[in-house]
Amino acid sequence: MGTHAHGKKSRRRGRKRLVDYPRTGRSGVRRWLPSWRQLVGTAGLFVLCVAVLFICVYVSVDIPDENEAARREANVYYWSDGTQMVSTGEVNRQNVELDQIAPSAVHAVIAAENETFYEDSGVSPKGLARAAVSMARGQETQGGSTITQQYVKNTYLSQDQTVTRKVKEFVIALKLDRKKSKDEILKGYLNTSWFGRGANGIEAAAHAYYGIPAKQLNPSQGALLAALLKGAELYDPAVSAANHERARERWAWILDRQVGVGLMTKSERAKYRTFPEPRKRSRSTSLGGQTGYLVDVANRYVKQSTGLTDEELARGGYEIHTTFDRGKVRGLERAVRRVLARDTDPKKRAADRFLQVGAASFRPSDGAVLALYGGPDATEHFTNNADTSGVPAGSAFKPFVLAAALQNGLSVREQPVVEARLADHAPGVPRGTLADSRYAADGTLRLSGGAADPDHPTLRQALVGGGNATYVRLGTDVGRDKVRRTAVAAGLLRQSMGRLEPAFSVGTSTPSAIRMATAYGTFASAGVRHDPYSVTEVLKDGESLPGLAPPPAQRALDQDVARQVGDALRAVGRDVGVDVPAGRTGDQDRLKSAWFAAYTKDMSTAVTLFRLRPDEPQLLPMSGVAGKKSGRGNVLPPRIWQEYVGGAHGAGKGR
C-alpha cells in the first residue's frame, strides 16, 4: 500500500507542466513568486497579443469619408470695400488654403498643440495609454492628442470621449499620416477646429475676434487664437475676468513657447507685450436689421447670373463680394428710423400704424446697387420692401409719360398741325419746347411762350402738382403702349406694368424701389440705362465663378430727351426744397402709397411709403398718415431722402 502511493507521487513529480506555476519545489511565498523567465515570457506574450490585436485593428479600420459637419461651410458676404458683412449657414466656416493663413498664426498653433508635428508619425501613444487608464478609473478620457489625431477627430469621427473612439483615432491618424502630406493635415486641422463665438476654422475665428481675414493676423493675435484651441469657453477673454486672465497667461506662454522651439526669435517676441484684446462678442451670422435683405438680393442675383441653385448655395463655401456700401446702408436705415420716429406717432394716430418703408440707392454710371432699406428687421419682417412689387408708383411714374412724348412725339392740336417730335426736329417746333408747352386735358397743345394760363399748365408744371388729367390725356395721345415701352426701356420691369387703361399714365404700375431708382438713374446718365447688379464676384475654392460681369449699358432715351425730363424734374425737387431732379406722388393721387425718387450726380435713390397689415395682401388707406398736413404721407419720402442724402453729401437741407 505504501509502495503504491509512493509510486503515484513519483509519477506526478516526474510529469512536466506547461506552466510551472505555482512553482514546484518551492514553499511559502517563493512558491507564488514567478521566476524571471516567467516574467519575461508573460511580458513577451502580452506584447505579442497586443501587436496581433493592433494588426487586426489596423487592417480592419479604414479611413472613413469626412463627416457631414466637416464638409459644411458658411457663405461669406463682403461689403463693397472688401470687409466682411456676414457669414451664413448652420456652420460658420470658410475653408482657406495654408498660404491664406498668417505664418505666425500657424507657428503659434504648432508650438501650442504639437511642436513635433512635422517629425512625428501622426500619433501619441501616451495619449492612447492615458485614455485607457482614465477609462479604467471610470473617468473621462484626457487630451494630449497630436494635431493629426485632432484633425481625425474633427473630420472623420465623433467628438465622443471613449477608448473605442480613441483607438480608431489612433489608427486612422497613422494611416492618414502616410496618405496625406503634413501641410494638408495642418490645413484641414486649422479649417475644422472650434474657436468659439460660432467660428469653425481659423478664417471664421479671425473675423469673429478681430474682424480681419486669417492672412492679416499678427503674431500676437495668432497666439490668442491658438490659446482658444484649449477650450474657447474657458479662454475667450470677453466672457469673464477669469477667462481673461487664463487667456492672457496662455497667450504669453504660447509666444514664449515659440521662442523655445525655434519658431520665433527673442527680438520678435519682445515686440508683443500688450495683450491683443479682441473685439466684443457678436453674432457674426446674424441676418437681423438690413443684412438679411441684402443677402436675399445678393443671392437672387447670384442665382440669376451664375445658374447656382438654392441647394448648391446652401452647401456653403462661397465668398460673395457685393456692391453694397456699408456707410450708405447704415445711413439710409438711420434716415428712415429718424423720420418715422419724429413725424409719426402710431400710439396716438391709428393712421400711422402698419407703416412700411422701402428704399434703394443705385449708381447710374454703372448700375451698382449701393444701399437698401427693406424693412425694420429682416428676421421679423420677411418681405423685402426695397425689392417688392404691389405698391403703385402714382405721379412718380409721370416722367416716363413725358419721356415717351419727347421721344415719340404726338399730334399738336393747333393750326397748322405739326408732329412735335424732338428727335426729328419737326418743322415749326423748336428744340426743347415740348416740356414747356401748355397742354390741356382736352388735348390742346400750345407751344411754349405767351401768358400764363391756369387752364393750360405746361407739362413741366403738371409734373409738380396736380396735372393728372393732363398726363392721362398725354398718355392717350402718345400711346400708352409707347409709354410702357419707354418705361421698360428706362429700367422698369415689364411684369410690374399696370393695365393699359387711362389711369396707367398716372401710376397704376407697381415697380420696386430698386427698379424705380434704376429708371430715374437713366435720366441721370443722359438716357443710357445700366441694369442693377449687386454682386461683383463669387469665389468657390479660390476660383471665380463666371457670369458676374456688370450688365452692359444700353441706350434707352435720346440724350436731349433725358436732359429735358431731368430739367422738368428739377421743378419737383424745388417744390420740396431740394435742387435736384425728383419725382413724387402728389395730392391728386388716390393710390395707397407715397413715393419720392431723385438723383444726384453719382446716386439715384427711390423711397416708397405704404401701409400694410401683416398677413393681409391689400394696402391700407394713407389718409391721415403723419397728420392732416402731410398730404396722406406724401411729405415723408422726401424727408427720408433729405435726411439720407443731405447727411451724406451736405445736399438737400430744405424741407
pLDDT at 62: 54
pLDDT at 136: 52
What share of the chain in percent tops pLDDT 90?
Answer: 51
Place of cell 432699406: 373
Bridge partners, 75 (sequence order): 88
**What domains does the chain contain, in order, with CATH numbers?**
90-269 (1.10.3810.10)
Q: 599 by DSSP, 3-state: which?
A: strand
For residues 608 and 214, give the distance between their C-alpha atoms in angstroms, rounded to a whole number: 41
Higher pLDDT, 455 or 274: 274
What share of the chain in percent tops pLDDT 70?
Answer: 76
For residues 294 and 302, give the distance between their C-alpha atoms in angstroms, rounded to a whole number: 12
Burial of 95 (0-12, 13-18, 19+ CB in 10 A): buried
Bridge partners, 538 (sequence order): 320
If one counts every other C-beta atom within 10 angstroms of the C-beta of residue 297, the result is 24
How far apart, in Å, are the Cα atoms of 267 and each of 77, 104, 217, 253, 336?
Answer: 39, 14, 19, 16, 53
Task: Estimate the crossing angle of helix 398-408 against helix 513-524, to 10 degrees.
Answer: 40
Question: DSSP string spanning 198-231?
Answer: TEESHHHHHHHHHSS-GGG--HHHHHHHHHHTT-
Cell digits of residue 80: 463693397
For residues 481 and 471, give the distance between their C-alpha atoms in angstroms, rounded to a whole number: 14
Residues 6 or more apart whose CB falls under 8 angstroms from that of 553 comprise 528, 529, 530
pLDDT digits (tens, 9 = 90+) for 387-406: 988 899 999 999 999 999 98
What is the mean predicted confidence (pLDDT) over 27-46? 67
With 70 as the cut, is the pLDDT of residue 595 above it? Answer: yes
User: Which segment, 331-345, 458-472, 586-600, 616-630, is predicted with the most confidence on average?
Assistant: 331-345
Q: Are 215 and 176 in contact (CB under 8 A)?
A: no
How does residue 448 score in pLDDT terms, banded at 50, 70 and 90? Answer: low
With 90 as the cut, is the pLDDT of residue 314 above it? Answer: no
Bridge partners, 445 (sequence order): 439
For residues 606 and 581, give the distance between their C-alpha atoms in angstroms, rounded to a whole number: 12
Residues 6 or more apart whose CB falls under 8 angstroms from that of 423 comprise 407, 409, 558, 560, 561
With 60 as the cut, is the pLDDT of residue 415 above it? Answer: no
Higher pLDDT, 608 or 240: 608
Rounded to the nearest integer, the mean pLDDT of the chain is: 83
For residues 559 and 371, give the distance between their C-alpha atoms in angstroms, rounded to a whole number: 27
* DSSP secondary structure letter of residue 219: H
How does residue 412 score in pLDDT terms, banded at 50, 70 and 90? Answer: very low
Lowest mean pLDDT among 32-46, 121-135, 452-466, 631-645: 121-135
With 90 as the cut, is the pLDDT of residue 225 above it? Answer: yes
pLDDT digits (tens, 9 = 90+) for 250-276: 999 999 999 999 999 999 999 999 999
Q: Are 203 and 214 in contact (CB under 8 A)?
A: yes
How does residue 459 score in pLDDT terms, banded at 50, 70 and 90? Answer: confident
Lowest mean pLDDT among 321-335, 340-354, 390-404, 580-594: 580-594
pLDDT digits (tens, 9 = 90+) for 169-195: 777 877 777 888 999 999 999 998 989
Cell digits of residue 438: 401748355
With 80 as the cut, is the pLDDT of residue 649 above it? Answer: no
pLDDT digits (tens, 9 = 90+) for 152-164: 888 876 555 555 6
Q: 611 by DSSP, 3-state: which?
A: strand
